[in-house]
Amino acid sequence: MKKLFSLLLAMLMALSAFAGLGQALAEGGEGKVNLVYYSWEDENDYIKPVVEAFNGKQDRIHVEYRSFPSVNSEYWEKILVMLAAREPIDIVGVNGVTDYANFYSKGVLAPLSVPIKESSYDLSGYGPLVAQFGIPKENGEVEYYGLPHRRGVYAVFVNKTIYEEAGVEIPYGGWTWDEFIEIGHKLKKELPDGRTRWGTAPRGLAWNSPAFGAFLQGQSMLDDDFSNFRDGLLVLNELLNGEKASSPDYVELYQNPSQVTAGNFQATLLASHILGDWGVTNMKRYEREGTMDPSVVWDVVPLPYFPGMQNGTTYGSAITTGITSYSEKKAEAFEFLAFLCGEEGAKIIAEHGTMPGYQSEAVRETYLNIDRTKNLKAFTDAIVLPEGMPHPASSDLTDMVRREAELYLIGEKDIDTVCADVETQRKEIITNAGTF
């Protein structure tokens, strides 16, 4: 009996030790708190190094980074289902203003004003982007439900080889939209092998940001005056359908977005590619992996400007990361968030070719040091206006404007009808959405 009791006791102790080991493994190692962090695969090149740096600098917290594709909004659909099911997720990549407003309205993000205040976390490094992730409350205060780990800032990537062969000066000092249209038309060319070399392919503007004309002139979809929306649509129509068209048509841009933009640029079949700062990461990867035609010599120039605008103006958005509202490890999660979105994480993100949300002179120099032969000041020194503001109507407004722009660009509506319809629907959407 004593032997049997001793055997049972030994088995219980072994099971207990195994359970403790399992718990330790679940916590990222013995004595560590494990945080699960989800984002989309496009972020991997710069988020993974930040996670590795954080895990290596201290031994109390382990961040486990996971991601899946963002194609056709796969990430945002899946992650919201997982959050609704309260899957074990502590930190979540949110993206821009529309997704930020959507995540907030679903109650899946934790408020951050208390840890920000208690840790004396400095928000000044985000500059004007602060307005894009602050949610105004009824008492007049502002609450934050995420911090920007990067900022989407737009410019134009050019193939210098095409420009120089055509005798066109590269517009490092800036250019107007009219000049952009003219140059794109000049650089478009039918090649002897039957392929077309396109001057432009503004897929990002036509699909993602058809309201860029308003954004660049300081207007948002929530403003009383949204009239400069028209300016951007007229530019897009000329690029896609006008006498000086230099781009594939809207249907082609929509159906084959990667091929007509990134694919053609790598194959020296696209002269000018409007893209966000993450394009630097992409270009470096294309060169590293050998997918870029050796004849392509790329550089970056400012986004074109409209009359009356300041040269060097662009638009952008705070790309945020938040803490899940149900996480039981919020203090540890905020410690990582402060690292990711502060100067330390910002320098690592900058090293990998992407503009971080937090800005300082050290971060700027780190970004420029990626490649001093490139005009990366088109990003670091740009005047960045907000692409949008958080609001309950953000998602519906974006969808409506995109839908109406499409009807114009495929010839189903004229410009006056589209602008009138946008105004009518915009007011209805804002009124019906109310406030947070």
Give the Cα separation of 251 and 406 in Å (integer). Answer: 9
- Res 387: pLDDT: 87
Give the Cα separation of 164 and 153 in Å (integer). Answer: 26
C-alpha triplet 369, 370, 374: angle, nearest 5°: 90
Sorted by sequence, the CB contacts under 8 Å of residue 152 that are 6+ apart come out as: 96, 276, 277, 278, 316, 317, 319, 355, 387
pTM of the model: 0.84
What stretches of 85-159 show up as alpha helix (H) in DSSP? 97-105, 113-118, 130-133
Task: Render pLDDT for 308-354 as a digit per residue (tens, 0 to 9).
Answer: 999 999 998 899 999 999 999 999 999 999 999 999 999 999 999 89
Give the Cα separation of 399 and 362 in Å (integer). Answer: 38
In DSSP terms, 313 is beta-bridged to 383
**Structural domains for the chain:** 27-151+317-379 (3.40.190.10), 152-315+388-433 (3.40.190.10)
C-alpha triplet 290, 65, 388: angle, nearest 5°: 80
Q: Is the pLDDT of residue 12 over 80?
A: no
Q: What is the arithmetic mean of pLDDT over 406-415?
A: 98
C-alpha triplet 291, 294, 298: angle, nearest 5°: 90
- Residue-wise DSSP of 29-55: STTPEEEEEEEEGGGHHHHHHHHHHHH
Q: Is the pLDDT of residue 118 over 80?
A: yes
| 3-class state of residue 425 by DSSP | helix
Q: What is the arithmetic mean of pLDDT over 253-275?
A: 95
